[in-house]
Structure 1
Amino acid sequence: MTVLAIALAGVLGFQLEAMGMLSAADDAAGRPDVIMIDTIAKLESLEQSAAVFKHDAHTKALKDQGMSCESCHKKDEKGNLSLTFNRTAGEELSASQLKDIYHDGCITCHVKTDEKGFKTGPMVGECRGCHQAEPEAVAARVDAGMDNMLHFIHWDSKVIKADPGKDTNCGACHKKAGEEDSWRFSEAAKTEPVNELFHNQCVTCHQSLAEKKAERTGPVQCAGCHGDKETAERSAELAKDLKAMGGIVPRLPRKQPDAVLMAPEVKPEAADQVAGMAGVAFDHKSHEAKTDSCLACHTSGVNAKMDTSFQALHDVADPASCVGCHAVEQKKPECAGCHALRPAAKVLTETSCAACHNVPAENAEGVKLVAAPEEVREAEAALIINARPQAPVYVAEADIPEFVNIGAIADKYQASKMPHRKIVLSLMKGMQDSKLATAFHGTPEAICAGCHHNSPATKTPPKCASCHGKPFAVEGRPGLKAAYHGQCMTCHTEMKLEKPAATNCVACHEKKTN
């Protein structure tokens, strides 16, 4: 043990992972680089509060002095940078040894930094400079993720070496061919936190590319992935790249199917015993293009078997389920005007179920699809998908009443002359490019159900007064005036319409002069 470490042991007999180099005036209320260092807590009780370490502040201070990451981080025998302080990953040390490493390493660096005339961190005896019970700076990070565009930047990169004998470079990150997410969902994840797996994989690669002065590399500082401003700037840059590519991200080269038959897979001898709903021909290619990441659906990993239980696929509150994802889409202004007032309990109806569950049990060759080989199932699913309508079907414009006069309860105001045709045509325009609307608005009259919500889908629905009386006809059912206002105003609000304002009564019905 060095003389300095011996002196420190008497003064700082506790965990000291690292020290900040910013003054209190420089500290922000929340920083993406703040790490609360409590390594020794895994071995023994801490004598002081965890040390507050501002990583990016230290990185800048080292750079200003012409120093590098290796001042704090060692490299292993393969040349990979270890993310632990002054030791290699997996190196087992006692609590006493850890204290010596940090006290000696950190404060020695502070002393040398001070001697060079640079702003430095706490010295011997200035314990509270790092060990703060109520830290002046706290961690505030945005989640980092690998969306499709960022993923494309990696697998299309020319600075990442291609796999031996292949034209892809997936092996640089994913160690097992055919199991592209194995490095994240592997045995190591059971013993090593997933965030450490990411940092060891990503940061060390970015650092090695930076050292090689590669044409393009990724961030090595915390803010680069976890800072509000930095991630916003990165997203803007990626958006420019995407725009230059025509707005379409190439599909990952994973040989994933274009079409999938979502139905139970059974052995041929048990095929006749299968009963229940018809299978679902799932347009995998189309859905893949609509998501930012495969993990939007494959929440347990791309290669993990999906939970195909009824609840997992039909949970209206879970955006990772089919119904839940559709419910999120229905919150868009062009959809929400109608769907906001439709109760979630009525999402699953015979008509809506049939929009997905329409694959016959037998294929063209008379073989039970549930027992057919995977390629047969995919081919049958593709045929059904290609046969689906490619554009929504509408009620003929001539069959839409141009105006509807609402005057059943006119009192202080004149009857409202509602521009019925204009409203319906506007709704049609909002859904004309939506494949989701095309799939689920299976009949021309389906659009009518947006307002005429509890009557059969027809071009001549009953009047609102047939259900909404005055006063309440049934407990919980609004009276006619409340029904009209609730329907119209909610629709305008959900569709983000500025006019007519909900408080502007005469915009819909003029006030009587007598």
Structure 2
Amino acid sequence: MKNGKRRMKQLLAVLAICGLGGLSALPASLARASQPTNDKQRADIITIDAMKAYGSLSQPKVVFLHDKHTTALGKQKDFYKKECGTCHTSDKDGVMQLGFQRDGAPVSAEKLRDGFHAGCISCHKDMAAVGQKTGPTDVQCKGCHTATPDVASNWQPITVDKRLHFRHAATQEKAENKCGACHHIYGEKAGKTIPAPKPEDVPGSCSYCHGPTTTVDEKRQPKEIRSLRLAAHGECVTCHKATAAAGKDVPTGPITCAGCHGPLDQKAIAETSLKKVPQGADLRIKRGQPDFAMVRPAVSETPVIVDGKPAKPYAGMQPVPFDHKYHEAKNETCVSCHHASLTSCSATCHTPAGAKEGGFVTLEAAMHKVGATQSCAGCHAVIQKKPECAGCHNAMPKGVGDVSQCGSCHVTPEGDLKDAAAAMMTKTAGKETAAAEADLAKKLLAGKRDVTTTIAANDIPETVKIGSLSKDYEPSVLPHRKIVLAMLEGMKDSKLAGAFHATDVAVCQGCHHNSPGSTTPPRCGSCHQAVESTTASARPALKAAYHTQCMGCHTAMGIEGKVVDKGADAKPVPAATDCAGCHKEKKK
């Protein structure tokens, strides 16, 4: 109980200072912030269908508008003392339980049904008795149970991103245990959750322990691990509500559904975070992580035998030097990559052969699977969908198939670094080698490009005339240099693009896609035949190749109809249906 009270005081201190940008402590302000702009699009819709656990429902589900009810209760005296307590109970540590007038313990179907009916209808009658507008007060089922609700959900999940986390942590900078204000661990001696004593004791994201459903940990029998939904609402809402009750001048975070999950409120939280977090502030969650690391398969203690002889561990596969600090800055949470735990990917989950802990996803797949956003290749593929990248990458094959590109990540050490890398690959990864690996990774990355460059502008043809198929139209004059320079402008701030566009002619291959990197690439007609053929081929004819390449780029980059050039002669980029926009019709 003492731990629970102390933790609650710490939580109150955090929220009292940072104020999550959604609500003040005044009921009037709360009512304004939680009112949806469109009553038909709401973030507070809760479906009451608990009876389905006992069999088929005899009535439609109940669509319960949570914020509408709390707003009505807000008109009552002593609002903050009783609004949540009207429907919800609290556990021994004061944490709110989400069940309606119950703590989650199993009940019979009859008791569950009667509890809802008695609780809801009696509350409606009480409010009606004092002249308040309220819900159904009789036993007509259709008053609450409706198969065709006239509202739809615009609920959105909310993430405690780096800025929101920074705002909480900054207020606890001088506290004895700032992490324990929000993060808890299970204390074996105490037999319950306790504030995490040190930053390194924090297991990381709440989702690492709290999953989508409530479970029972074998080590915690009979202790339940609440679902993430229950844990987040129980801890966060309880703290926000208690802070609001502490005083009218104390700012706090949202306690309504829309306050956290409404699109407009989320935008307000993000905007407030941008204002409250100092420009250039270090948003890293410091846990002793390295700035640089080497991503490599774990070296087995048992020699690998090939043809009766011990093989060199992972011979031929070079490790990947990884700029961990840069990637932290580019992601909002650690979960973006470390989706299951904060440990190394290959530590226990994604081994070279695959392991049960990692769903038998091998290390190679974990790093290269394009469809998984937590993988390196998958994350990069998401970035390639941005308009400034999609013009080229939208038409390129997805996946890691061109082995010539492996060297973009798997760097081959040379000179003095070659021996250091070879020695590293014979050792098991651990703390004793972490510093040496970080130093090696930093040195290997020192030669990487940070920006995309190409050949000198004067060496880029200013225009290119496309007229080999000219018949009904004049040849098309392509503003070649402007296009290349515009592409470079779009990726100038991308360190990722700089690293992967490793040569001066790499950007040229966005259009000259299957040609060797060269300042004098072959003409399109060298590969694409001018005459359509009835023979099936994966390579389109020349006319189709031109239109697919040009129109595909304009569409993917979203520039059709937009004026992207500057100057007196600036005009919109031609649409796919505007033939004369690219080549004028010949005079007859």
Q: Which amino acid aligns with 2:326?
A: S
* SS class of match (1:316): coil
Contact 1:260 1:284 in 2 (8 A): yes
CA separation of 1:137/1:260 partners in 2, compared to 1, >3 Å: closer, same or farther?
Answer: same
1:51 maps to what in 2? 62
CA separation of 1:391/1:35 partners in 2, compared to 1, >3 Å: closer, same or farther?
Answer: closer
Q: Which amino acid aligns with 2:161?
A: D
Is 1:123 equivalent to 2:123 in the alignment?
no
Is 1:368 equivalent to 2:442 in the alignment?
no
1: CA distance, partners of 2:343 / 2:245:
34
The more displaced of 463-472 and 405-414 is 405-414
2:286 maps to what in 1? 253
Which structure is richer in relative contact order (CA contacts within 8 A, separation 6 or more)?
2
1: CA distance, partners of 2:174 / 2:182:
7
CA separation of 1:248/1:359 partners in 2, compared to 1, >3 Å: closer, same or farther?
Answer: farther
Aligned pairs (5 A) from 1:354-433: 354-358=407-411, 360=413, 363-364=419-420, 367-369=423-425, 371=427, 373-433=433-493
1: CA distance, partners of 2:151 / 2:558:
40
Structure 1: gaps spanning 5 or more residues:
1-25
The more displaced of 436-445 and 190-199 is 190-199
2: CA distance, partners of 1:47 / 1:510:
69
Instruction: Give 1:448 shift.
Output: 1.4
Contact 1:265 1:370 in 2 (8 A): no
1:197 maps to what in 2? 231
Is 1:145 equivalent to 2:155 in the alignment?
no
Question: After superposition, what is the alpha-carbon deviation per residue over 1:269-299, rounded to whole angstroms, capped at 9, x for unaligned?
Answer: 7493333521111111111111122222222
2:21 maps to what in 1? none
* SS class of match (2:438): helix
CA separation of 1:77/1:408 partners in 2, compared to 1, >3 Å: closer, same or farther?
Answer: closer
Is 1:42 equivalent to 2:95 in the alignment?
no
Instruction: Give 1:509 shift.
Output: 3.2
Instruction: Give 1:339 shift.
Output: 1.7
Contact 2:299 2:425 in 1 (8 A): no
1:76 maps to what in 2? 91
Contact 2:454 2:504 in 1 (8 A): yes
Is 1:232 equivalent to 2:267 in the alignment?
yes
1:338 maps to what in 2? 392
* SS class of match (1:282): strand
Q: Which amino acid aligns with 2:65?
A: K
Aligned pairs (5 A) from 1:73-112: 73-87=88-102, 89-112=103-126
CA separation of 1:351/1:74 partners in 2, compared to 1, >3 Å: closer, same or farther?
Answer: same
Instruction: Give 1:220 shift.
Output: 1.2
| Of 53, 65, 73, the match for 2:76 | 65
Is 1:208 equivalent to 2:248 in the alignment?
no
| Of 501, 505, 508, the match for 2:579 | 505
Contact 1:173 1:201 in 2 (8 A): no
- Count of equivalent residues: 481
* SS class of match (2:74): helix
Question: After superposition, what is the alpha-carbon deviation per residue over 1:428-460, rounded to whole angstroms, capped at 9, x for unaligned?
Answer: 222222111111111111111111111111111
1: CA distance, partners of 2:513 / 2:422:
41
1: CA distance, partners of 2:57 / 2:474:
77
Q: Which amino acid aligns with 2:228?
A: V
1: CA distance, partners of 2:260 / 2:449:
42
Contact 2:476 2:583 in 1 (8 A): yes
1:8 maps to what in 2? none
User: RMSD of aligned C-alpha atoms?
Assistant: 3.0
Q: Which amino acid aligns with 1:117?
A: G
Instruction: Give 1:236 shift.
Output: 3.0
* SS class of match (2:420): coil
Question: After superposition, what is the alpha-carbon deviation per residue over 1:17-43, rounded to whole angstroms, capped at 9, x for unaligned?
Answer: xxxxxxxxx994443222222334435
The more displaced of 272-281 and 356-365 is 356-365
Instruction: Give 1:486 shift.
Output: 2.1
Is 1:444 equivalent to 2:504 in the alignment?
yes
1: CA distance, partners of 2:205 / 2:479:
58
CA separation of 1:94/1:508 partners in 2, compared to 1, >3 Å: closer, same or farther?
Answer: closer
2: CA distance, partners of 1:351 / 1:402:
31
Instruction: Give 1:400 shift.
Output: 1.7
* SS class of match (1:341): coil
Contact 2:297 2:363 in 1 (8 A): no
CA separation of 1:285/1:469 partners in 2, compared to 1, >3 Å: closer, same or farther?
Answer: same
2: CA distance, partners of 1:268 / 1:488:
54
Q: Which amino acid aligns with 1:500?
A: V
Structure 2: gaps spanning 5 or more residues:
1-36, 186-195, 217-225, 305-311, 351-361, 563-571
2: CA distance, partners of 1:335 / 1:184:
32
* SS class of match (1:70): coil
CA separation of 1:133/1:462 partners in 2, compared to 1, >3 Å: closer, same or farther?
Answer: closer
Contact 2:184 2:202 in 1 (8 A): yes
TM-score (norm 2): 0.74
Q: Which amino acid aligns with 1:331?
A: K
CA separation of 1:510/1:45 partners in 2, compared to 1, >3 Å: closer, same or farther?
Answer: closer
Aligned pairs (5 A) from 1:416-495: 416-472=476-532, 475-495=537-557
1: CA distance, partners of 2:557 / 2:116:
58
2:22 maps to what in 1? none
The more displaced of 329-338 and 71-80 is 71-80
2:203 maps to what in 1? 180
Contact 1:81 1:204 in 2 (8 A): yes
The more displaced of 455-464 and 74-83 is 74-83
Instruction: Give 1:226 shift.
Output: 1.8
Contact 2:87 2:100 in 1 (8 A): yes
CA separation of 1:174/1:479 partners in 2, compared to 1, >3 Å: closer, same or farther?
Answer: same
Instruction: Give 1:386 shift.
Output: 2.8
2: CA distance, partners of 1:218 / 1:336:
39
2:29 maps to what in 1? none
CA separation of 1:367/1:58 partners in 2, compared to 1, >3 Å: closer, same or farther?
Answer: same
TM-score (norm 1): 0.84
CA separation of 1:52/1:400 partners in 2, compared to 1, >3 Å: closer, same or farther?
Answer: closer
CA separation of 1:174/1:302 partners in 2, compared to 1, >3 Å: closer, same or farther?
Answer: farther
The more displaced of 355-364 and 441-450 is 355-364
CA separation of 1:77/1:337 partners in 2, compared to 1, >3 Å: closer, same or farther?
Answer: closer
